[in-house]
Structure 1
């Protein structure tokens, strides 16, 4: 193996990491912004359109406040605002880490995120969460 080939592989690795690192930079910037600009204060962010139209909570309602609480190192408050968002963070970090590892190894990106059964299961969980958080016995899931 020549030095030119080794150098090219290193350059290809760095190019492959641009995507995951760009996503991390964007997510970090958004997280920092939400940490600095309090979503609990009216006027900083628009109202959830689903909540505004129907008066019901969507699965994402409370996520901005969840991220704000996490930015201020308050995971208990974050869990109370949107438990589904809190449960998703480890999965998102896992998938992002897998993407970084594949990019570093120079392996091609996968065209599927997960097996379809897992994705349908996740959609079912989101739908059940959406309905239950709007019912009287699921009020503990409301933000």
Structure 2
């Protein structure tokens, strides 16, 4: 095995492991429908307070996305839908940067995956803080009567 092949294999190890984990979680959600009672444990926050946490409905939302029902997914948890889309997009950019994706390079006129990955790496703390703040705001807004349509 040449040095280039060994280097490529090493650079794909982390994306392959993360991808395998994502596939395993997706398979678990497809095999155990969150809409069925008892398929998944109840949210501890909901069980203790009777109030849905910002993540409540997230499993149903992702399951609905994977089965193609976008409206039901948004109804279950719009923030989870946004998070899933962002995670898949970030993963695709990361994978493209490791593979070298010549098609993506032609499409965007440069190393699109590498640029997106570099930007996310440089701003990871800010991105995480904005996402967490958005989650909290979403959780509070969905409790307000005029926005009760956002509740799971």
Shared fold per TM-score greater than 0.5:
yes
Give the structure with higher Rg (CA): 1
Find 2:24's aligned residue among 19, 29, 33. 29
Higher relative contact order (CA 8 A, sep 6+): 1
Q: Return the TM-score normalized by structure 1.
A: 0.82
Question: Distance in 2 between the 1:118 and 1:64 partners?
Answer: 23
Question: Distance in 1 between the 2:126 and 2:67 partners?
Answer: 36
Unaligned runs of 5+ in 1: none
Could you say which residue in structure 2 is the equivalent of 1:127?
136
Q: Return the TM-score normalized by structure 2.
A: 0.77
Mean Cα displacement is larger for which, 55-64 or 113-122?
Answer: 113-122
The root-mean-square deviation of aligned C-alpha atoms, in Å, is 2.3
Question: Distance in 2 between the 1:73 and 1:117 partners?
Answer: 31
Aligned positions, number:
136
Unaligned runs of 5+ in 2: 101-113
Q: What SS class does the counterpart of residue 82 from structure 1 fall into?
A: helix
Contact 1:32 1:71 in 2 (8 A): no
Q: What SS class does the counterpart of residue 112 from structure 1 fall into?
A: helix
Contact 1:69 1:75 in 2 (8 A): yes
Question: Distance in 2 between the 1:26 and 1:117 partners?
Answer: 25
2:150 aligned with 1:141: yes
